[in-house]
């Protein structure tokens, strides 16, 4: 490689290091050499900080550990044959956690005489104190809304609800549950919400009267608008401390956002989809007991909210399903505790409940991003990459300048002392000539009108005299 090639390589290296601009230098009018400013280190740091922030968001604990808060039931048989079933798991008031669970013996019979001291609860292996407990005969308010498909094919189910509504309410009352009942009906649209103020009734006879007036009609085409009905049910006036339960009853698939119009009804609401509906249920701490076809939407709604799914086509005895749901709700224990790690860090937590040798496990994820309430150590560790991205470029630039040999300033003497600008012009011109590439074809050249020096077409100044071209 010749001397010119070495200088070109050296220039490229210095250019990548950020110590020279994209263009080396050029002359102003009058022969004074000027140089473009190098890239602003602040701009470089800001770009790197933005890149690190995007990477951090991509691997944030909420996404890496974004495990559903829904309640997949954990059932562990014990030598005594007991089974603990965690149903609804409510973390909507985090760091306060509320569990609703059932305990049954080997024959499936509910065990209803347990006390607070019979239960042991831990989170991530750390024992927690139960701050509130309610068993049978104690205050356990529950607000229940029946979300009912009333199309023509549902006539038997409507009759079944009318027959079992009183027994359903009696079972809840007999086991000491302070209940309220509501009713929302739907087909392709939400048809009816009893009571204009969206309140619920505490009288089973009034609920039975509502159900007896239902008429199965319409619904010639499947599917139906279940998501809109669920969202309307979540607008009911629930009591602050009550357990919220939706009992969804349908025999048809569900309409989604973007479906073609059905009977003049359009489905252009983005909330008519699984995720927005599930988010709304979790925000309310509500569980879904679905009596519906065995479709993914219904099974996931039930499992993700701590409810239960029943296949309406495999269980012809509809009244027994309603009675079973009533018994499950009537015999639930309510346990409330405060998380021993009440930080907003988006991490996964494992909860274990022990009673009489039986155990059940439940896993949930704290749903927040890092913020001012997060653990300081966790926040510092996650901010280290961002701090490094901000500091590293400046440090590298300073270190580079320190290790470069200092260049002596030119000394002007004799007749050159009075003409420093001319000497600087000659030095700059000589520097540029060393970096010039091979001569361009004649058709790509122009001549300086002042001194006749050849220059590339498009050049703005003459490299010899500095005159404007």
pLDDT of residue 51: 63
Strand partners, 147: 184, 248
Instruction: Give the pair of three-digit tokens for residue 61.
Output: 């604990």
Structural fold of domain 137-330: Rossmann fold (3.40.50)
DSSP state, 465? T
Tell me the domain boundaries of the chain.
Answer: 3-35+405-437, 137-330, 444-469
End-to-end CA distance of the chain: 33
100, 202, 214, 102: which is closest to 148 by C-alpha?
Answer: 214
102 neighbors 85 (Cβ within 8 angstroms): yes
342-385 confidence digits (pLDDT tens)? 877 777 889 999 998 888 888 887 766 555 455 566 666 667 77
402-438 confidence digits (pLDDT tens)? 776 654 445 545 554 445 455 445 544 544 444 444 5
Q: What is the pTM of this model?
A: 0.62
pLDDT of residue 105: 87
For residue 75, pLDDT beyond 50: no
20-50 confidence digits (pLDDT tens)? 444 444 444 444 444 445 555 555 556 665 6
Strands 130-134 and 26-27: unpaired
354, 309, 357, 358: which is closest to 335 by C-alpha?
Answer: 354
């Amino acid at each position: 490689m010749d001397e010119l090639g070495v200088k070109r390589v050296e220039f490229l290296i210095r250019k990548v290091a950020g110590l020279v601009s994209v263009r080396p230098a050029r002359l102003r009018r009058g022969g004074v050499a000027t140089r473009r400013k190098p890239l602003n280190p602040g701009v470089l740091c800001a770009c790197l900080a933005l890149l690190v922030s995007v990477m951090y968001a991509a691997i944030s604990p909420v996404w890496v550990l974004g495990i559903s808060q829904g309640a997949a039931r954990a059932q562990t048989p014990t030598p005594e044959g007991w089974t603990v079933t965690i149903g609804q798991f409510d973390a909507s008031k985090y760091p306060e956690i509320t569990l609703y669970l059932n305990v049954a013996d080997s024959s499936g019979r509910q065990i209803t005489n347990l006390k607070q001291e019979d239960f042991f609860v831990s989170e991530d292996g750390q024992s927690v104190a139960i701050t509130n407990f309610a068993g049978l005969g104690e205050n356990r308010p529950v607000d229940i809304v029946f979300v009912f498909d009333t199309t023509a094919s549902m006539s038997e189910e409507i009759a079944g609800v009318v027959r079992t509504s009183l027994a359903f309410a009696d079972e809840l009352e007999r086991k000491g549950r302070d209940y309220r009942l509501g009713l929302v009906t739907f087909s392709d649209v939400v048809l009816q919400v009893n009571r204009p103020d969206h309140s619920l009734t505490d009288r089973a006879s009034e609920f039975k009267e509502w159900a007896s007036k239902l008429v199965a009609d319409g619904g010639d085409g499947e599917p139906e608008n279940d998501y809109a009905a669920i969202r309307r049910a979540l607008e009911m006036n629930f009591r602050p401390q009550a357990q919220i339960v939706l009992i969804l009853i349908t025999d048809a698939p569900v309409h989604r956002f973007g479906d073609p119009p059905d009977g003049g009804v359009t489905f252009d609401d983005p909330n008519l989809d699984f995720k927005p509906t599930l988010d709304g249920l979790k925000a309310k701490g509500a569980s879904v007991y679905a009596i519906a076809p065995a479709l993914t939407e219904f099974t996931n709604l039930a499992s993700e909210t701590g409810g239960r799914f029943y296949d309406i086509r495999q269980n012809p005895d509809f009244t027994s399903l309603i009675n079973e749901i009533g018994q499950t709700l009537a015999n639930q224990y309510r346990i409330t505790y405060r998380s021993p790690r009440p930080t907003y860090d988006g991490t996964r937590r494992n909860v274990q409940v022990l009673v009489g040798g039986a155990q059940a496990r439940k896993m949930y994820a704290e749903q927040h991003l890092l913020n001012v309430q997060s653990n300081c150590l966790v926040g510092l560790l996650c901010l280290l990459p961002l701090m490094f991205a901000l500091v590293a470029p400046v440090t590298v630039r300073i270190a580079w300048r320190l290790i470069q040999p200092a260049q002596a300033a030119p000394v002007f003497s004799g007749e050159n002392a009075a003409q420093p600008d001319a000497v600087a012009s000659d030095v700059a011109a000589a520097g540029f000539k060393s970096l010039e590439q091979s001569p361009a074809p004649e058709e790509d050249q122009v001549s300086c009108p002042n001194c006749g020096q050849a220059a590339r077409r498009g050049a703005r100044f003459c490299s010899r005299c500095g005159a404007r071209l």
